[in-house]
């Protein structure tokens, strides 16, 4: 019988939340690239911009699925791997805003990455303190 997979750890929950959000934004961007582009502060969505927004949305959808698979398998090395790379993403995206390459609204994407990285890092820390595997036995 089909059963709903529920994250088994605090870190797993942070990865699941990010995965669901990435899938959602990916689907929205594939259906309406202009919606995602304007939300990030890009007003002009010409042919190349529309292609970029669509490609970014497809990447978001794929990444969201990867995160959900990692959650379903409680793939802790993946959880740990995401923390420094999401902080790197925060740094790069913030740099794009500071150097006026990207609009100020794009800072929201950077902050989303930083908050996710910190949440997952704290979740990993909390799970490690709870014992082997990071999850409570039922």
Pseudo-torsion of CA 59, 67, 101, 53, nearest 10°?
Answer: 30
Q: 72, exposed or middle or buried, with CB in 10 Å at 0-12, 13-18, 19+?
A: middle
Q: How far is CA 24 from CA 63, 76, 102, in A?
A: 11, 23, 23
pLDDT in tens, 6-37: 899 999 999 999 999 999 999 999 999 888 77
Contact 82, 121 (CB under 8 A): no
Number of H helices, E strands in the chain: 5, 0
The residue extents of the domains of the chain are 10-129
pLDDT in tens, 42-58: 776 776 677 888 888 99
């Amino acid at each position: 019988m089909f059963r709903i997979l529920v994250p088994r750890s605090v870190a797993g929950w942070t990865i699941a939340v990010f995965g669901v959000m990435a899938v959602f934004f990916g689907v929205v961007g594939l259906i309406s690239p202009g919606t995602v582009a304007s939300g990030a502060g890009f007003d002009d969505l010409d042919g190349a911009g529309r292609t970029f927004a669509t490609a970014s949305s497809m990447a978001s959808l794929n990444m969201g699925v990867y995160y959900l698979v990692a959650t379903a398998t409680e793939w802790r090395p993946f959880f740990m791997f995401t923390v420094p790379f999401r902080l790197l993403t925060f740094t790069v995206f913030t740099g794009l805003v500071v150097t006026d390459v990207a609009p100020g609204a794009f800072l929201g994407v950077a902050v989303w990455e930083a908050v996710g990285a910190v949440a997952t890092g704290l979740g990993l820390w909390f799970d490690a303190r709870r014992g082997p595997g990071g999850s409570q036995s039922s």
